[in-house]
Structure 1
Amino acid sequence: MGTLTGRTALVTGGSRGIGRGISERLAREGARVAVHYGRDAASAEQTVKAIEAAGGEAFAIRAELGAAGDAEALWAAFDERAEGLDILVNNAGIDGVRVPIGEVTEEDFDRVFAVNTKAPFFITRLGLDRLRDGGRIVNVSTGLTHGSAMPQLIAYTMTKGAVDAFTSVLAKQLGERGITVNAVAPGVIDTDMNAAWLNSGAEVRTDVAALSPFNRVGEPRDVADIVAFLASDDSRWVTGQWIDATGGALL
């Protein structure tokens, strides 16, 4: 039996990239995983089928984050397939436009905050009645909030700074229920979100790999394994933490 057998997990943005890695990892530990997606139904179905092919349980739910009523729509879809929740992973996010502050429009700013900050806040708020005592909340942050700032991602970094604060405050509030709340902060991960610039030239990938003492680019499984620990009973004494998942890039 896996460490999460008998538990139900929800992973937002769980069909691609880091989210897919997390969904598959939690399923391997025995959790029944709700794989959330916004628009790409095909990727969600592929993730569910991959989990099932490996002997796990999963189902896909759709809700476009950043739209009015997104949290309500997500939980309505979840409630049709499951009763109660043990693990919530707020992973879904966008990086928005990659431009310096002088080129960020109000629309750009509102969009990235709607998806990356407002959505996880209200998904969590509405999910607390469903989350069982002793449950786990894991928020996906970024190494950019603690170093190596990128001016072209200023709005994105601000959204994750808010998520970091949300993590620590919520951890203090939910401790009385035995619920842990932690943030995992990846560096550059080899996903389709980063594919265009990672593959824009051999020197780019080489330079990114050199940021880590391991001299390689991070993979979704590197983050997923940390999330699996935080979702398990082994992490019962860890809460309110910002966990560096950059492969040592901030050293």
Structure 2
Amino acid sequence: MKVAIVTGASSGIGQGAAVAIAKRGVGVILTYGANRQGALDTVAAIEKEGGTAVALPLDVGETAGFPAFRASVVDALSGTWQRDTFDHLVNNAGFGQMSMFEDTTEELFDKFMRVLLKGPYFLTQTLLPLMADGAVVNVTSNSALSTGVEAGYSAYATMKGGLTVLTRYMAKEFSRRGIRVNAVAPGSTRTRISDDAFERFPEVIEPIEAKTAFGRVGEPEDIGMMIATLVSEESRWITAQSIEVSGGYGL
């Protein structure tokens, strides 16, 4: 059985990706930060469909913890799947926060950098020796594309843009091992991002729907199915691509 690691899968896009990947017969190691119960819910959803999943804690913004996480991955692979390698990595864990350019502090800028760019860079580096010939998917954002520029996301989008560039360089270097690397750039998606912003500020939903060609906000499953497709055999000839998954935002 193939095995995928999906970071930040206790809710939202990560949860949607973990469930969609598992439905294709792939085992899943999923990570969580503060929301352990959400991770257990994801495991339960996968097991309900007949799949296999293990939840592990991980702070993607603290690189010092990556060697211990790698050791936990080795244990999970051996204990659950009798393997010493895994096949796919989905770098999804992150956070979002609106902050106008003039109000953005160095502290917030550095946190975005640690979690959204430095974390995926060095987590992938740490786990790469354990990877078989599979696929990496980096979750970026359409805020880093010309179609999704909105005031208040300069620091967030800068890091996501960096991850888009990193995707191409990973694809170049990892191709020698037969590993494909792509990015998905979601538009506004109904997740718990920015401390449940959609729940706290429902008035933002209608303007987003008005800007989206399909007339609704994206759901985690919309993005999750695309991620599952990119790690599957169906996408074996696709690498170094950034795919916007936004329902036609800005069309």
The TM-score by the shorter chain falls in which range?
A: over 0.9
Provide the rounded CA distance (Å) in 1 between the counterparts of 2:156 and 2:108.
10
Give yes or no for contact 2:96–2:194 (8 Å, CA) kept in 1.
Answer: no
Matched with 1:93 is: 94
Cα gap change, 1:106 to 1:195, in 2 (>3 Å)? closer
| Corresponding letter in the other structure for 1:207 | P
Q: What is the correspondence of 1:144-183 to structure 2 with a 5 Å cutoff?
A: 144-147=143-146, 148-183=148-183
Q: What is the correspondence of 1:1-251 to structure 2 with a 5 Å cutoff?
A: 6-82=1-77, 83-96=84-97, 98-133=98-133, 135-147=134-146, 148-193=148-193, 196-199=196-199, 203-251=203-251
Task: Measure how far apart 1:196 and its partner are.
Answer: 4.4
Deviates more, 1:62-71 or 1:180-189: 62-71
| TM-score (ref. length: structure 2) | 0.92
Cα gap change, 1:77 to 1:173, in 2 (>3 Å)? same
Give yes or no for contact 2:213–2:250 (8 Å, CA) kept in 1.
Answer: no
Deviations 1:168-213 (A, max 9, x none): 1111111122111000000000112267443456653221112211
Higher helix share: 2
Provide the rounded CA distance (Å) in 2 between the counterparts of 1:225 and 1:144.
20
Report the number of matched residues.
244
Provide the rounded CA distance (Å) in 2 between the counterparts of 1:151 and 1:247.
20
SS of 2:67 mapped into structure 1: helix
SS of 2:181 mapped into structure 1: strand
| Corresponding letter in the other structure for 1:171 | A
Provide the rounded CA distance (Å) in 1 between the counterparts of 2:196 and 2:8.
20
Task: Measure how far apart 1:67 and its partner are.
Answer: 2.1
What's the Cα RMSD here?
1.5
Task: Measure how far apart 1:150 and its partner are.
Answer: 2.3
Structure 1 residues not aligned, in runs of 5+: 1-5
| TM-score (ref. length: structure 1) | 0.92
Provide the rounded CA distance (Å) in 2 between the counterparts of 1:104 and 1:41.
30
Provide the rounded CA distance (Å) in 1 between the counterparts of 2:15 and 2:180.
22
SS of 1:92 mapped into structure 2: coil
Task: Measure how far apart 1:55 and its partner are.
Answer: 0.6
Cα gap change, 1:149 to 1:165, in 2 (>3 Å)? same
Give yes or no for contact 1:71–1:119 (8 Å, CA) kept in 2.
Answer: no
Cα gap change, 1:197 to 1:12, in 2 (>3 Å)? closer
Give yes or no for contact 1:187–1:245 (8 Å, CA) kept in 2.
Answer: yes
